[in-house]
Amino acid sequence: MSAKPPLDEQAAAWLCERDEGFAPGRAEAFATWCAADPRHAAAVRQIERAMAVLETMPTVRRPLEARFGPLDSAPATPEVPAETSALWSPLRRASLGRRAFVAAAAAFVLSLCGRWYYATQVAGRDYFLNDTAAPQQLALGDGSTVHLDARSALRVDFSGHDRRVRLEAGQAHFEVAHDAAHPFIVTAAGVAVRAIGTAFTVRLASTAVEVLVEEGRIEVAPATPPPATAPAAPPPQLGAGERARVARADAAALPQIEKMEPPELREALAWHRSTVVLVDVPLAEVIARFNRRNAVQLVLADDALRDRRLGGVLALDQVEAFVALLERGGDIVAERRSPEEIVLRRAR
């Protein structure tokens, strides 16, 4: 029996297949593979981060292309549905025949980032404002990824020993590249969240700062420590699946920490993920999720359809593919009133 390919090559194969358009049933198989072992999902995120960094750092891309050849010279990819072919990502350049290339390129980028980042990007200060109606993904120079929610803003300052980010409005999800020598610190309304390599969300609500940990561990403490009048207790730590709230009126107070059940955790993290797994969810709620992420808005013109239950794996950034799926059932028709509006109703 032949041995399985290395994990990074398996992840690269799935990503190539996803970005070229899953065949029927393959999206479900990919979700199952990711859920089967935490290392699977971690391998996928690592390659996605590396390829995102490659797109934004020419100083890294040039030596990569010198070693592997121009990325734009990828062989032709098989024909895919129109609704998928219009969706671009860095990994679309890698056809199914270049799976090993993607895995090797990602590994090469990650190794380069460790040598190049603090030499060439250490003074980087940036301000990001997302005034669109959908989350936006940012690739930071250290290899970390930020999902910035709609109507949210943050400031990045990697000019010192620490990697610092200040959330100024809304919420953001951070997938932090591991670097023990340079901790990753997010501040919001006087609250500081410290991580080394983990994934977590920080939300600046009207009355509180909320922190939700997806993986790894973080510390939550006041951004400005109070005067030392007694030996300070170590900052509270949160692990995967835990959420903390700190009142904005008292950032020095101990956070309220609660453990979240897996379904609640998935729901809380769904806002920044284009692909979600749904089980028995009303059509009206599914449409609301699509509308939060896309300029093209879906209008449900028939109240009798609101409670129709759906399940499966959906890509929330593929509106046309979702509409085509509904029409394929034969009892829902779509009327495209304008480039920004699609009306759904029962077929007569």
> Within its chain, how far is the Cα of 303 from the centroid?
33
Tokens representing 92 are 């679309």
- Over residues 252-269, the mean pLDDT reads 89
Residues 135 and 253 in one domain: yes
pLDDT of residue 298: 94
CATH number at residue 338: 3.55.50.30
Residues 198 and 247 in one domain: yes
Helix runs in the chain, H state only: 7-20, 26-36, 38-56, 58-68, 82-85, 99-120, 262-269, 283-293, 319-328
Residues 98 and 23 in one domain: yes
Top mean-pLDDT range of 106-110, 241-245, 282-286: 241-245
Residue 143's nearest CA partner among 163, 169, 171 is 163
- Is residue 61 over pLDDT 70? no
pLDDT of residue 245: 95
pLDDT of residue 341: 93
In a domain, 176, yes or no: yes
Largest CA distance in the chain: 75
Residues 13 and 87 in one domain: yes
Least confident of 62-71, 107-116, 165-174, 274-283: 107-116
**Bridge partners for 138 per DSSP:** 146
Residues 129 and 69 in one domain: no
Q: Give residue 219's domain range.
A: 125-226+233-260
Q: How confident is the model at residue 208 (pLDDT cuts 50, 70, 90)?
A: very high
In a domain, 58, yes or no: yes
Q: How confident is the model at residue 17 (pLDDT cuts 50, 70, 90)?
A: confident
Q: 266 or 110: whose pLDDT is higher?
A: 266
CATH number at residue 138: 2.60.120.1440
Residues 49 and 17 in one domain: yes
Average of per-residue pLDDT values in the chain: 77
pLDDT of residue 325: 86
**Bridge partners for 342 per DSSP:** 298, 336
In a domain, 267, yes or no: no
In a domain, 52, yes or no: yes
In a domain, 72, yes or no: yes
Q: 66 or 308: whose pLDDT is higher?
A: 308
pLDDT of residue 271: 82
Residues 140 and 89 in one domain: no
Interhelix angle 58-68/99-120, rounded to 10 degrees, is: 140
Separation of alpha carbons 206 and 230, rounded Å: 32
Separation of alpha carbons 290 and 270, rounded Å: 12
Separation of alpha carbons 237 and 230, rounded Å: 20
Residues 221 and 136 in one domain: yes
Residues 115 and 129 in one domain: no
What's at 8, amino acid-wise?
A: D
CB 74 within 8 A of CB 95: yes
- Over residues 206-210, the mean pLDDT reads 94
Q: Which of 119, 138, 153 is the last residue of a domain?
A: 119
pTM of the model: 0.53
What is the tally of structural domains in the chain? 3
- Is residue 114 over pLDDT 90? no
In a domain, 2, yes or no: no
Q: Which of 65, 97, 119 is the last residue of a domain?
A: 119
In a domain, 268, yes or no: no
- Is residue 214 over pLDDT 70? yes
- Over residues 151-171, the mean pLDDT reads 91
- Over residues 155-171, the mean pLDDT reads 91
Residues 88 and 143 in one domain: no
Q: 282 or 293: whose pLDDT is higher?
A: 282
Residues 217 and 253 in one domain: yes
In a domain, 265, yes or no: no
Q: How confident is the model at residue 145 (pLDDT cuts 50, 70, 90)?
A: confident
Least confident of 6-10, 13-17, 252-256: 6-10
pLDDT of residue 118: 33
CA-CA-CA-CA torsion sign (226, 227, 229, 234) = positive
pLDDT, one tens digit per residue, over 69-110 is: 555 444 443 343 433 333 333 333 334 445 556 666 666 555
pLDDT of residue 100: 58
Residues 248 and 310 in one domain: no
Separation of alpha carbons 222 and 291, rounded Å: 36
Q: Which of 119, 141, 162 is the last residue of a domain?
A: 119
